[in-house]
Structures are given as structure tokens and as C-alpha cells.
Amino acid sequence: MPGILRIAYKLLVNDKGKFAALLMGLTFSVFLMIQMTSMFSGMMKKASATVTNTGAKVWVMDRAVTNVSSAIPMPDYVLDAVRSIDGVKYAVPLYSGGALVRLKDGTYQPVTVLGLDDTSLFGRPELIEGNIADIYAENGFVVVKDEEYRKLENPKMGTEFELNDNRGVIVGLAKVPASGLFGVPTLYTTFNRAIQYIPSMRYTISFILIEPQSPLAIPHIQQEVARLGYDTATEQGFIDKITHWYMFNTGMGINLLLMTAISFVVGLSISGQTFYTFVLENLDKFGALKAIGAKGRELVIMIFFQAALTGLAGYGLGIGLCAGLIALAKLRMPDYASIVTYGNLVLALGMVLVISVFSGYIAVRKVLRIDPYDIFRG
């Protein structure tokens, strides 16, 4: 068997033109599939940034909420009712809203303001400069130092700004696991200051963050909150809900899915046609092998070995090309939303295997019908 595989390898790489064409088609196909799915994964990570950065195990929200940016305020009695549910260790309010900040040069910049519970500051980010207790100081705000930080003119400790004719002061610089989707800087402050500075509706609580006494208490908490007429979601459940909404309720997910499908079809057609042509041009060699005693099973193994080798080589080159271009793009555009995940790699590998099997199948059908007599007679 190793001898047969060695012959198959030499037959494959000996025709450098065909081998390069096969690799190019598969590499381009894998590159597009990885790139499209990576863009979607990156955007979904940014869309769920508030959920990831806050780290709450259970979220309570209005039933009409589809993502973090569409928060619908809830009355204060919901917070009191949630705190009284058996299994709740503690529950705190979270304000999430948008505002316009007036910078020193007079320009305005949209920001996302997150108001943390005044007592616990649950969900606070990790500070890289400053003291979190200073957020209680008059006009205190913490700014997230991420890709959007420069849009606030790179504020330092003590930098002042205006928010709805109210004075704000930067008292800390923070880092978070993920930045927002729409390129908007993020400010943290206390809950009461947020609702005081930003005009709101009659109700002010955007979300309620729950810390359960144990994971086993979560189903009971969800049932009790549902009886109140509101919805609950675990951290991962909320992330999945946001992803589902962007995928099926906006054009973003459908367009990227369509481009991924087109990339798969392109790779399937190019590799299938090129590999079939390669087999046709080497029919005499496969016929000679059959004439000297090679069995049909061994010829099938040769064909699928060649298809798999080409597919895996194109898979590796495609991943390398995509990762390199994403890295270069992030050097020039730090807020570029694209991330390669294990799920993307597995999906692309599955598609490459389908392409390889399809290419090998159409070639095997031709090889198995070879009559050595016709080869030598020609």
C-alpha cells in the first residue's frame, strides 16, 4: 500500500500545472469560506460585547428585547420582585443607553453609556489606570480603552467633556474582552448618574442582572420571572439570542451565508473539473497499473488519496492566507470585525472534505471503467 500511495503522490505533483490549478482553486474557496464566516463571528462577538463584558449569569429583560442595543426599560417593582425569588443570591439593575458627548474641540461623538448598580458596581470593567471608587466622585466616568478610544480624542485621567450639558470627568481607563459592533466608544458610570444625565422614559432599568445561588436555581428563577411577564436568559443564551436575531432578522447573516455557499460551489466546480481533467490525462498510467495487477480497490485508494492530499493542502493554504490578511487588516484598522474560530475551521474542513470526496468520486468512475487492452492498443 505505501508503494501505491507513493506512485499516486508522484502522479499528482509531476504535473505541476494541474496541481497548481487544483491548489489555487481550493485555496481560494477555503479563503472565501473562512473569511465570510470569520467576519460574521467577529461581528457577533462585538454585538454581544456588553453581555460578555458584564459577565452576569442571568439577564432579565422585556420580552420584546432582541439585543442589547434595543433595551426596553422596566419598572422598579420588577427588580424588587426578582430579588424576592428563591434561589437569587442578588440582583442589580443595569442602565444601557446612547448619548452624545461634546469634546474639547466642540465636536460631538456618540457613546454608549452603561450605568452600574451604585452599591455593588456589578459588571464593572477591569481598570488599567485609576481607582474604581473614584466613579462615585462628582461627574465620574470610566472610559474603555479599546479600538474606539481614539474617537474621544484619547482622553487621559482628568479629561473633561459634556454630556447633555452636564460635566463629565474621566476617572479611570478600563479594558474589556470585546468592543462594540458599531464603532461607538463606551463609558461606565453609576446607575443614578446615568439616568440623571441621559433623558429616559418613565422607567429606567434596562436590564436586571442576577447572580443565582447555584446553577440548579436558574430554571426556577426563569419560571418565576416568566410569571411576572418578563423574559430571562443565561449569558450564553443571550449571546445566542443576539446571534439568531442578526442572522435571521437582518441582511447580515443571510448575505454572509450566501457568500459562503457561493464559495463552496466555486471550489466544488473548479476542483471537480480540474481533477477530472487530471485523471483523463493520466488514464494511460492508471491503465498500465491495472494491467500489471493493480486491483480496483487500490486504484480507488490512489484517487481518493490524491483528492484528500490536494484538499488538505488547499485547506491549510486557505487558512494561512485568510489569517494573514485578517492580521494585516487589523494592523491598519484596529476595529476590523473578523475572528477565526474553531467552529469556522471545522465548517470549512467539512466543506473541503465534501469537495475532495466529490472530486474523487467523479474521477473513480472513469478510472474503474478503464480497459487495459484499449490503453495498450492505443
The rounded distance, in Å, linking the Cα atoms of 366 and 370 is 7
The rounded distance, in Å, linking the Cα atoms of 146 and 269 is 43
DSSP SS3 for 214: coil
Of 132, 122, 118, 290, which is closest to residue 211 (Cα–Cα)?
Answer: 122
Query: How many other CB atoms sit within 10 Å of the CB of residue 376?
Result: 11
* H runs (alpha helix) in the chain: 2-14, 16-47, 49-54, 76-83, 191-197, 218-228, 235-249, 251-281, 283-291, 296-332, 342-368, 372-377
Q: In 156-206, where do the E strands start and end?
A: 160-163, 166-175, 186-190
Question: What pLDDT sits at residue 319?
Answer: 92
For residue 338 the three cell numbers come to 473578523
Which of 156-160, 291-295, 357-361 is modeled with the greatest confidence?
Answer: 156-160
Query: How many other CB atoms sit within 10 Å of the CB of residue 207?
Result: 27
240-270 pLDDT, tens digit per residue, is: 999 888 888 877 777 877 887 887 887 777 7
The rounded distance, in Å, linking the Cα atoms of 74 and 59 is 13
- The pairing of beta strand 186-190 with beta strand 108-116: parallel
Confidence class for position 372, pLDDT limits 50, 70, 90: low
Identify the burial level of 107 via C-beta atoms within 10 angstroms of its C-beta, where 0-12 means exposed, 13-18 middle and 19 or more buried: exposed
pTM: 0.80
pLDDT above 90 covers what percent of the chain? 42
For residue 178 the three cell numbers come to 470585546
Amino acid, res. 342: Y
24-61 pLDDT, tens digit per residue, is: 888 888 888 888 888 888 888 888 889 999 999 999 99
Of 350, 346, 360, 344, which is closest to residue 271 (Cα–Cα)?
Answer: 360
